[in-house]
Amino acid sequence: MVLYPSVIPGFSVDTLCISMHRSTPQKIDPVAGLAAAVFPGAGHLIRKRTSRGLLACVGVLGLFFFGLLIGGIDAIDSKEDRFWFLGEAMVGPLTFAVDYAHQNHFKAYDHAIKSTRTGNPEEHRVQINGRWEWEPLSRAQIEQGMGPPNVKGLGRLNEIAMLSIVLAGMLNLIIFLDALMPPTGQATKRSSSGRAPATKEPS
Amino acid sequence: MTLMIAPVLAYTPFVDALAVHNEWYLLIIPIAFFIAIGYKAVRCYDMKNYPREVFIFTMQILIGLGILAVIATALITVLIPMIAPVPS
């Protein structure tokens, strides 16, 4: 099929070339990429695209903390929900920090399964010889309000919570790629000496 | 033997799971909104149109999921029982 752009109002060969150029990968900016990998939106902040960086940060962290709000800290679990965690890990070091806190400050050892797990409502954490273990509570202790440090997320809500955090990770991957590869306008400005950029760089 | 009882907390946001089991379907609204905020932050060419594009994208997600829900409901409750009725 042959296109004749000149016959279409407001359309020219130049605009066709620009639109084709936009879709091609641009020069890689490793510093911005590294910053984006460390914290959502930081890559855009380094590249002076402040509003985009802040909004990207709000989007990713909004999904992340919304997932934590629904499912609690149990929504991030590298041991019990390994495959979900692979998607969640794309949010960055924040996920690993929450997972570390979950594994070390909320779980305890269970002799029956010879591993750590989240506590049941009738248990509490006790430290025995330097290791946190689950110990059954008496009825009186339960009535006093004692229990495990967190309530385990179950069923549909736990799935939605994990989904929200995985979506945060996938969104952060898009934002990371956008920070790693500068926009067309900026790349054109760098490559063409003495010529005005073909497109206006997005703010 | 060292015995130390861990501090016991009541409901703590971001630590305990939220009890919204009956309103689970409403949770898609903030999720769709945050996706639109983050996605349009890097895919909106002119930031003047950003709020409008975020709103449109949020609605696209919600309406798309709504249509999928209607199709799935029709498939499960009408079509499949017609094709393969459960013997009584």
A18 found inside a domain: no
The nearest CA of chain B is from the CA of A51 a distance in Å of: 8
Bridge partner list, A127: A132
Preferred mutation among A142, A164, A177, A199 to probe B, highest tally of B CBs within 10 A: A164
Is the pLDDT at A133 greater than 50? The verdict is yes
Which is higher by pLDDT, A9 or B38? B38
The CA angle A105-A111-A113, to the nearest 5 degrees, is 90
Cβ under 8 Å to A: B residues 35-64? 35-42, 44-47, 50
Q: Grade residue B8 by pLDDT with cuts at 50, 70 and 90.
A: very low
Q: What is the structure's pLDDT at A26?
A: 66
The arithmetic mean of pLDDT across residues B61-81, rounded, is: 95
Count of structural domains, chain A? 1
Preferred mutation among B1, B9, B16, B55 to probe A, highest tally of A CBs within 10 A: B16
Instruction: Return the minimum-mean-pLDDT range out of A5-9, A112-116, B13-17, B70-74.
Output: A5-9
Q: Which of B4, B16, B37 sits opposite A59 (nearest CB)?
A: B37
Q: What is the structure's pLDDT at B2?
A: 43
Query: What is the longest distance spanned by two Cα atoms in chain A?
Result: 85
Question: In sequence order, which ranges of B1-88 are alpha helices (DSSP H)?
Answer: 28-43, 50-74, 80-83
Cβ under 8 Å to A: B residues 4-23? 4-18, 20-21
Q: Grade residue A13 by pLDDT with cuts at 50, 70 and 90.
A: very low
Phi-psi category of residue A155: left, alpha or beta, with phi > 0 → left and psi -120 to 50 → alpha: left
Find, in chain A, the residue whose alpha carbon is nearest to that of B34.
Answer: A59
Which is higher by pLDDT, B42 or B88? B42
How far apart are the C-alpha atoms of A18 and B62, rounded to whole Å?
A: 33
A195 found inside a domain: yes
For residue A202, give its domain range.
Answer: 34-91+155-203
A77 found inside a domain: yes
A64 found inside a domain: yes
Instruction: Return the minimum-mean-pLDDT range out of A7-16, A38-47, A86-95, B34-43.
Output: A7-16
CB contact under 8 A, B38 and A171: yes
How far apart are the C-alpha atoms of A47 and A175, rounded to whole Å?
A: 13
Q: What is the pLDDT of residues A176-198, one digit of tens each?
A: 999 998 666 544 344 444 444 44
Is the pLDDT at B86 greater than 70? The verdict is yes
How far apart are the C-alpha atoms of A190 and A27, rounded to whole Å?
A: 10
Q: Grade residue A28 by pLDDT with cuts at 50, 70 and 90.
A: confident
Q: What is the structure's pLDDT at A119?
A: 87
A8 found inside a domain: no
Q: What is the structure's pLDDT at A12?
A: 52
How far apart are the C-alpha atoms of A183 and A122, rounded to whole Å?
A: 56
Q: What is the structure's pLDDT at A24?
A: 56
Q: For helices A50-71 and A93-105, what crossing angle results, to 10°?
A: 20
Q: What is the structure's pLDDT at A182?
A: 66
Q: Over the range A114-148, which residues count as b (16 or more CB within 10 Å of their CB) and which as e?
A: eebbbbeeebbbbeeeeebebbebeeebeeeebbb
ipTM of the complex: 0.84
Q: Which of A44, A125, A160 sits opposite B6 (nearest CB)?
A: A125
Q: Which of A126, A174, A203 sits opposite B39 (nearest CB)?
A: A174
Highest mean predicted confidence (pLDDT) among A11-15, A50-54, A125-129: A50-54
Q: Which of B5, B37, B42 sits opposite A124 (nearest CB)?
A: B5
Bridge partner list, A128: A131
Cβ under 8 Å to B: A residues 69-98? 69-74
Q: What is the structure's pLDDT at A198?
A: 42
The arithmetic mean of pLDDT across residues A155-182, rounded, is: 93
Find, in chain A, the residue whose alpha carbon is nearest to that of B37.
Answer: A59
Which is higher by pLDDT, B1 or A76? A76
How far apart are the C-alpha atoms of A89 and A58, rounded to whole Å?
A: 17
Is-contact A73 A61, C-beta < 8 A? no
Query: How far is CA A184 from its chain centroid?
Result: 26
How far apart are the C-alpha atoms of A82 and A99, rounded to whole Å?
A: 11
A113 found inside a domain: no
A103 found inside a domain: no
The nearest CA of chain B is from the CA of A55 a distance in Å of: 6
Is the pLDDT at A65 greater than 90? The verdict is yes
Q: Which chain B residues are Cβ-neighbours of A156 within 8 angstroms?
A: 21, 24
Is pTM beyond 0.90? Reply is no
How far apart are the C-alpha atoms of A149 and B16, rounded to whole Å?
A: 8
A109 found inside a domain: no
The nearest CA of chain B is from the CA of A2 a distance in Å of: 28
How far apart are the C-alpha atoms of A39 and A58, rounded to whole Å?
A: 12
Is-contact A110 A128, C-beta < 8 A? no
Is-contact A146 A137, C-beta < 8 A? yes
